[in-house]
Every structure is written in C-alpha cells, then in structure tokens.
Amino acid sequence: MESGGAILRGNLAKSSIEWTESTWNPLTGCTKVSDGCKHCYAERMARRLKAMGQANYANGFKLTMHPHVLEKPLLWKSPQMIFVNSMSDLFHPEVPASYIMQVFDTMRRAHWHTFQVLTKRAKRLPKLDPRIDWPPNVWIGVSVENEEVQWRIDCLRETHARTKFLSLEPLLGPLPNLNLEGIDWVIVGGESGPKARPMDQSWVSDIRDQCVAASVPFFFKQWGGVQKKRNGRLLDGRTWDELPKSCRIHAA
C-alpha cells in the first residue's frame, strides 16, 4: 500500500497521504505479491501499532478483518475523501467476496464521502465486477510499479467503476507505453523509507508527458527516498496536483 502517515482522531484517521484526506481500514494485514511490496510501509506501521498496543493490530500484519469498523464511515458526517484499506488490500484472495460486498454496501450508503480503493490483486476485479453495483462515489485503482505488472491496468479497464485510477508508486522503472484509455487519474511517487529504491526523473517526466497528451489528470506525490520531505514534490519547478474531473476535495 501507499506510504504515508495517519493521525488517529476518534474513529477517523486523518491521513498525511497527499492525494486523500482520511483512511478507513475494515481489514488490516497483507502478503507480498510483487516487487512494489518489498519495503512495504504498511507492514512496518502494523508492527509499530502492535507494539503500541493498538487492538486492531494485535495480529501484526497478518490479514485480519474488522467487522466492528464496517459502518464507521456512516458516523462521519463531514464529507471526506477516504482511502480504503491503506493497511491492507480489499481484493486480497483471502478476503471473502461476501466481506468485500459488505464494504461496498457501506460505501454506497455513505454517499456523501468519496472512497478510493487501491489494489494489487487486479485479477479479482473482472471476476467480481458482475457482482458489484459500483456506486459513483467509489473510485477503484491498481498499483503498477514496473512494466512487468502493467497487465493490472487491463484488468481495471474491465470493471464498470465510474472512476478508474493508477498508482505508479513506488515507481521502480520506466513505463514508456502506458495505455491510458479509460483511465481517469494517474498518481506517481517514489519509494520512501530506510531502504528506498531510487526513481529516475526521466521516468516521471515521461509519464507526465503521456498523461498530458492523453488529457489524463496527473498527480506527482513525492520523489521519496530516505529523506522524502527534503526531496520534496517539485517536478520541473512546480507541483502537479491534478485530480479526476469529477473530483471535489472536501473541506477538512
């Protein structure tokens, strides 16, 4: 999952991830599936939260469902942009389809929020798509860290979600031939943390140029690295904070 911190405020976790506002984790824990998982931020954070005695992380980073938080977004009256399962993957193969449908039921009922769901388990998307009545307030995205997993984008395109996005983070190599047909938003970011792998500026600039040519909103999250704040977010002298055309960032 994406790197970024969260500040717990009641049942709502205010997020420091640049492209969202809050997080909601009806399940936690995951397993590694590709190169992008090697230095998983969520795994490190889960271990810290377990050591701190956080009840939802008693199992550390073992996949764990939390039915008691399923309806929490219904209690948050202020509209939020909510990243779903920042500490897991909703479409992990060990998550029952019935539980996924419960998560979607909550998102559908909490229509005043915008929910952002991101997965690396893209093969489950077309399989479950016929069972999902995609609410317009739910965005679905796939993580693509290098050319080897570009096939995830094709799986995403097969869904009937209203808003589809790509998270190219941690970007581990060039993606010179992105097929952006049907894609509404692209996020790019470098890996951060103590063992962060480097990201070349040319990779980022090329993706930005592809997005501009295809009229797809482009969001540059970070250069990353061990000192990610020092490295900042500027690309060619400016920030890139474009969002899907249907998006409205809510007041905090």
Contact present, 242 and 212 (Cβ < 8 Å): no
pLDDT digit string (tens) for 37-73?
999 999 999 999 999 999 999 999 999 999 999 999 9
Question: What is the rounded distance in angstroms from the CA atom of residue 26 to the CA atom of residue 32?
Answer: 19
Residue 32 is assigned to a structural domain of this protein: yes
Residue 201 is assigned to a structural domain of this protein: yes
Number of domains in the chain: 1
Query: Confidence band (pLDDT; 50, 70, 90) for 9?
Result: very low
Whole-number pLDDT of residue 4: 47
* Sign of the four-CA dihedral 50, 91, 69, 193: positive
Residue 247 is assigned to a structural domain of this protein: no
Spell 66-86 as b/e; 16+ CB within 10 A means b. eeebbebbeebeebbbbbbbb
DSSP string over 182-209 = T--EEEEE--BSTTPPP--HHHHHHHHH
Residue 2 is assigned to a structural domain of this protein: no
Whole-number pLDDT of residue 118: 98
Q: Which domain holds residue 172?
A: 16-67+79-231
Residue 188 is assigned to a structural domain of this protein: yes
* Average pLDDT of the residues of the chain: 92
pLDDT digit string (tens) for 154-208?
999 999 999 999 999 999 999 999 999 999 999 999 999 889 999 999 999 999 9
pLDDT digit string (tens) for 131-163?
999 999 999 999 999 999 999 999 999 999 999
Residue 190 is assigned to a structural domain of this protein: yes
Contact present, 27 and 65 (Cβ < 8 Å): yes
Q: pTM of this prediction?
A: 0.92
Residue 248 is assigned to a structural domain of this protein: no
Residue 8 is assigned to a structural domain of this protein: no
